[in-house]
Amino acid sequence: MITGAVKNRDRHQSYAGNTVELKADRIEPGGNDESSTVRDFVAIVKQLAPRFAARAASVDENDLFVADNYVDLKNHGLISAAVPRELGGGGASHLELGEMLRELGHHCGATALALSMHTHQVAIAAWRWRHQKAPLDGLLKRVASENIVFLSSGGSDWLQSSGTAVRVEGGFRINARKIFSSGAPAGDLLMTSAVYEEPDSGPTVLHFAVPTKTEGVSILPTWQVMGMRGTGSHDILLSDVFIPDTGISLRRPQGKWHPLMHIVSMIAIPLIYSAYVGVAEAARDLTTRLARKRKPDHHVNYLIGGIENEVTAARLALDEMFAAAASNEPGLATTNRVMIGRTLVARAVLSTVDLAMGAAGGSSFYRSTGLERLFRDAQAVRYHPLQEGVQRGLAGALALGHEV
């Protein structure tokens, strides 16, 4: 159930003066050749780009959710891009999904990041269905046929989780407040967890999915932040929500690593960071266009050269993350590779937008230029797990042969 304030503010938006057209009302990925999928999904994003770009400033300035963009994502098959073709979806590979999100980041970072949060959940389910024979085909078929949007609280919960689960007849009563739920106003199914005080084994994290229209589920309009304002990453409140025993998909000790987290790290983190690389590339492109309008200047050349270095570093680190994931071998070694890449991408993205503000000069300080929004959006790259301190500790322990 969505609170009235959010529902009215986010779902009913108009963009006066912005006339954008597509060549067709609906663009479908086509062709049976697996190699065509990247081209098709990226082409869809590029055709949607004028709409997304025209809305981006208004969404950002007014703390609006990118609701109209989600309508376009649904209409053009991007919500189900990660669903296997044999289950009715787009059949995009992990790398192809990353390319789609990176391209989307060029035009609207908030849409790219919000979509990555849905897409990685679908991609994890698809990976587990294909590689572990997990019975998730019914759920994946619903994503394809009904355009169901997944929400995640994993980034804020991570190993500890939050909220309480109390045993009642037939299941549990959940009370929790989940933060950073990107895409909340458009979400249909929240993938989350809560902590149950197991009498024998102590604090136990219970994982479950809950439809957002369930009684006791509400969205709190808290997302008033520095950047990525259009993601609608509001808090979701669970008040005495009943989850039956059959709805519990996983139990694990609180605060301890579980093998599923290796799959999450392998699949989710490269997709999320693809959106940020797209933002960095957009900052590079905009800064270059602005610099070309000025007289040649050695210092500006130096700064632009630095931007080129950092964007290249971001792309190389992102490529390494996807190469690690392509092993399809979730475990410490793969997680370590992915998380090293996560740190390197974050550093390069932040350095890119910092250099861009300097190279563009005073014009970068004006909202109308668009660069300050990219700068602010990029700052969110800091906060996804594993943050650099923890990541370096993991990398160091593995390098020294210590127990993790």
- pLDDT at position 138 is 96
Fold of 4-149: Butyryl-Coa Dehydrogenase, subunit A; domain 1 (1.10.540)
Q: Binning pLDDT at 50, 70 and 90, where does residue 296 land?
A: confident
- pLDDT at position 345 is 98
DSSP 294: S
Average pLDDT over residues 270-294: 96
* Cβ 153 vs Cβ 236: under 8 Å: yes
DSSP 387: P
State which of 27-41, 91-105, 289-303 shows the largest mean pLDDT: 91-105
More confident of the two residues 158 and 79 = 79
Buried b (16+ CB within 10 A) or exposed e, 73-92: bbebbbbbbbbbeebbbbbb
Beta bridge partners of 202: 198
Closest to 247 measured CA to CA, from 307, 207, 213, 218: 207
As a dihedral over the C-alpha atoms of residue 215, residue 219, residue 220, residue 222, rounded to 10 degrees, the angle is 160
H helices, E strands: number in the chain: 12, 8
pTM: 0.89
Distances (CA, A) of 33 to 28, 29, 86, 326: 14, 11, 14, 20
Q: What percent of the chain has pLDDT over 70?
A: 90
More confident of the two residues 52 and 36 = 52
Cα separation of 94 and 119, whole Å? 10
- pLDDT at position 36 is 44
Domain spans of the chain?
4-149, 154-253, 259-399
For residue 302, give both structure tokens.
């130096």
Residue 37 makes CB contacts below 8 A (sequence gap 6+) with 29, 31, 90, 91, 92, 93, 96
Cα separation of 398 and 400, whole Å? 5
More confident of the two residues 7 and 156 = 156
Cα separation of 273 and 13, whole Å? 28
- pLDDT at position 26 is 38
- pLDDT at position 47 is 95
Q: What percent of the chain has pLDDT over 90?
A: 85
On the question of pLDDT at 146 being above 60, the answer is: yes
Q: Binning pLDDT at 50, 70 and 90, where does residue 226 land?
A: very high
- pLDDT at position 29 is 37
Q: Binning pLDDT at 50, 70 and 90, where does residue 404 land?
A: confident
| Residue type (1 letter), 172 | F
Is CATH 2.40.110.10 correct for 154-253? Answer: yes
* Cβ 181 vs Cβ 153: under 8 Å: yes
Q: Which pairing describes strands 189-198 and 202-211: parallel, antiparallel, or unpaired? A: antiparallel
For residue 168, give both structure tokens.
């009642």
**3-class state of residue 226 by DSSP:** coil
Closest to 317 measured CA to CA, from 347, 275, 287: 347
Q: What is the mean pLDDT of the chain?
A: 90
Burial class (CB in 10 A: 0-12, 13-18, 19+), 109: buried
More confident of the two residues 201 and 343 = 343
Closest to 324 measured CA to CA, from 282, 400, 280, 273: 273
Cα separation of 107 and 51, whole Å? 9
Q: What are phi and psi of 53, to 5 degrees?
A: -65, -40
* Cβ 75 vs Cβ 25: under 8 Å: yes
Fold of 259-399: Butyryl-CoA Dehydrogenase, subunit A; domain 3 (1.20.140)
On the question of pLDDT at 334 being above 60, the answer is: yes
- pLDDT at position 154 is 72
Q: Give CA 115 to chain center in angstroms.
A: 6
Average pLDDT over residues 296-321: 96
Q: Binning pLDDT at 50, 70 and 90, where does residue 20 land?
A: very low
pLDDT per position as a tens digit, 123-136: 999 999 999 999 99
Q: Binning pLDDT at 50, 70 and 90, where does residue 40 land?
A: confident
On the question of pLDDT at 16 being above 90, the answer is: no
- pLDDT at position 158 is 87
pLDDT per position as a tens digit, 345-355: 999 999 999 99
Q: Binning pLDDT at 50, 70 and 90, where does residue 307 land?
A: very high
